Amino acid sequence: MQVTVFLLGHDCHSIIAGPAHADAVIAGLQKYLDDGFELFLSAHYGPEDRSDVQTKISYIEGLKDIVARCSSAEEFSDAVKERYPGYSGENYLRMTAGMFFPQ
């Protein structure tokens, strides 16, 4: 069984529009796993499997952990880059930082 998702990317930053959105994305991805989907086709990434989706869930949970310890977008971005070195999509990270820490 396969599903098409907009943004996934197991090693790419995601656009997360704050804590409620993080929880909603995690819940949606977990539902796909619970429903037995095996193949995930992303609009902006290559095909991925269940382990990639679990990696993305862990990443978003990591973002929630990091944001709880930060007081600025810059501090958040630096901490995320340190925890997830080599991830692509730094522009997505900047957008996420701006949504968690609006000016």
Write the pLDDT tens digit of every residue in 68-94. Answer: 999 999 999 999 999 999 999 999 999
Three-state SS at 5: strand
Mapping DSSP onto H, E and C, the string for 44-79 reads CCCCEEHHHHHHHHHHHHHHHHHHHCCCCHHHHHHH
Give the strands of the sheet with 2-5, arranged side by side: 2-5, 39-42, 48-49
Write the pLDDT tens digit of every residue in 21-72. Answer: 999 999 999 999 999 999 999 887 889 999 999 999 999 999 999 999 999 9
- pTM, two decimal places: 0.92
Can you say whether the dihedral through the CA atoms of 82, 84, 90, 96 is positive or negative?
negative
Residue 39's Cα: distance from chain center in Å? 18
Q: What is the pLDDT of residue 74?
A: 97
Q: What is the pLDDT of residue 2?
A: 67
